[in-house]
Chain A
Amino acid sequence: MSIREYVHIEPEQENRAIAGYYEVEEELLIPVNNQEVLCILGYVCWDNSCCGSGGCRYVSVPGYIVDYKKAIDKKGRPVSRVRKITKSEEQKEIKDILRKKIRNLQIIDI
């Protein structure tokens, strides 16, 4: 039930696109409701977009940890299994924690 794989992107490495780049800064495991939530913190910069430039810090939240880095993918990157956070109260709780922890950031849909 809404369990999916999360391929860990190597931190502090520039992921370049034509319009800009992003970088994962660190991964956080935040305890919520006796479980651990995987949060990916990073920075995005759009420096060659067709429509202006800018950047911001962001966080994405793949979900509650089911298995942490117990597998690897074809390219040798660690893979976790996560359970997507679907309850809106839990989403809100996690967003509030994140907003308190890290200011001024983009929170990608949990």
Chain B
Amino acid sequence: MPGSIRDRVAILGMGCTRFGERWDASAADLLVDSAYKAFEDAGIGPEEIQAAWLGTTTGSTGMVLSEPLRLPYLPITRCENACATASDAFRNACYAVAAGIYDMVLAIGVDKFKDSGISGLGDGGSPGPSHAMVAESTPPRQFAMLATTYFNRYGLSYEEGKHMIGRVSWKSHQNGVRNKNAHFQQPVDLDTIINAPMVAWPLGLYDCCGVSDGSAAAIITTPEIAKARKKDPVFVKALQIAMAPRDGNFNTNFDFLHVEATVRAAERAYEEAGIKNPREEISMAEVHDCFSITEAVTMEDLRFSPRGKVRDDIENGFFDLDGKLPVQVDGGLKCFGHPIGASGLRMLYEMYLQLQGRADELLNPGYPSRQLPNPKLGLTHNLGGSPDGCAIFVGIVGLEGA
């Protein structure tokens, strides 16, 4: 690799709105909310921002940001990369600082879905040729095929498979309920999850994430400025994107058991961050649990679990809040929510809070602590698209020296 981002930029401050069906808020309201929370956390004013990267899948141009924040004449890039949108905005902002062009920039993501009157992101039915079967294709179907194949390949009975992926969702609900900013804060027991009807067989209702409104933001600066202004800045260790060739429906080598793009992005990220054994070295992770099977397979793709063995780790609580490697500490997409253009920065926000020991700032009153003991390195992962055709982001952040 010609260069590495490791410890070359730092996060000075972050902010995140409450996620949910925000009937009360516009995209502009959400952007202002997360941006000013980030400014306050960083101890800066908006006038110190030199450039910004805006991630959104619904807006267009950087004016979506410049207008409500009254950031006149700043260079702003609007970035879109499906569910990796926010993470890619963050990545590009980091590179600009690492390149020495700027030393104080904003990466911010937002999406506002709940004004369309109907649920969903559209069906991809673009004007196209007659074969446009995409008109009927849905994401749950694409990911359900991972489950069908995974159960078949590893000899899991339907009950065993459903229990495994149900346990994934159950864990996220256990975590999300402690988070007062999460979209979905109700505890759900495993029977309710496993007995739920199908959305796309074998994926049931609780195996699928929803959509939310929300925004999250990060202020990025140089390590020198960060250390001068803050006692515990969080450092960027790795930023990797991998774009899959969308060939799983044509290439017989694609096995519907894993997501190769995650493997490629993760291996590059581990090299960049100097990580040999992620199962041992990574303290916590927020991954793209758009569907429960996605999270299960991602645990193997990230080398958190050996190939074909994730069921043992899931069933033994390895990824639970009190497990060896907690995953979806804030509830994940399934509970914290999924405003697509903000999700990557939301994941990063949780890692940032945990690394600074501030996780209980978001504690739902009456619940036990969300704070993990002494995390050193946190990983975030986004998957935008389908298992074979996706934009993958893998990022690693950590404390100084980690």
Contact = CB atoms under 8 A, between A and B. Distances in A.
Task: Report if A and B touch in the complex (beta carbons < 8 A).
Answer: yes
A60 B195 contact: yes
Contacts of B21: 48
A102 interface: no
Given A7-B191, A52-B119, A19 B205 contact: yes
B121 A50 contact: yes
B210 interface: yes
Contacts of A16: 184, 186
Interface string B173-199: 000000000011010110110011111
Interface in A37-52: 40, 42, 44, 46-52
B335 interface: yes
A22 B194 CA distance: 12
Interface string A40-74: 10101011111111001010100000000000000
B192 A51 contact: no
A9 B197 CA distance: 13
Nearest to B124: A51
B115 interface: no
Given A17-B206, A108-B197, A108-B198, A47 B192 contact: no
Contacts of A17: 184, 188, 196, 205-206, 208, 210
Nearest to B205: A17
Interface residues of A, number: 30
Given A7-B191, A51-B139, A22 B199 contact: no
A9 B191 contact: yes
Contacts of A48: 21, 119, 210-211
A18 B197 contact: no
Given A48-B211, A49-B210, A22 B120 contact: no
Contacts of B210: 17-20, 48-50
A19 B208 contact: yes
B211 A44 contact: no
B158 interface: yes
Contacts of B334: 18
A100 interface: no
Contacts of B337: 18
Given A7-B191, A9-B192, A44-B205, A22 B119 contact: no
Nearest to B193: A17
A89 interface: no
Contacts of A56: 197
B258 interface: no
B316 interface: no
B361 interface: no
A106 B208 contact: no
A93 B207 CA distance: 29
B121 A44 contact: no
A53 B197 contact: no
B284 interface: no
A75 interface: yes
Contacts of B335: 18
Interface string B355-386: 00000000000000000000000000000000
Q: Which 5 A-B pairs have the closest CB atoms?
A: A52-B120, A44-B197, A18-B210, A53-B119, A48-B210
Interface of A: 4, 7, 9, 15-22, 40, 42, 44, 46-53, 56, 58, 60, 75, 84, 106, 108-109
30 contacts: A4-B159, A9-B192, A15-B196, A17-B184, A17-B188, A17-B208, A17-B210, A18-B183, A18-B210, A19-B206, A19-B208, A20-B199, A20-B210, A22-B196, A22-B197, A44-B196, A46-B208, A48-B210, A49-B119, A49-B140, A49-B208, A49-B211, A50-B211, A51-B138, A52-B119, A52-B123, A52-B138, A56-B197, A58-B198, A109-B202
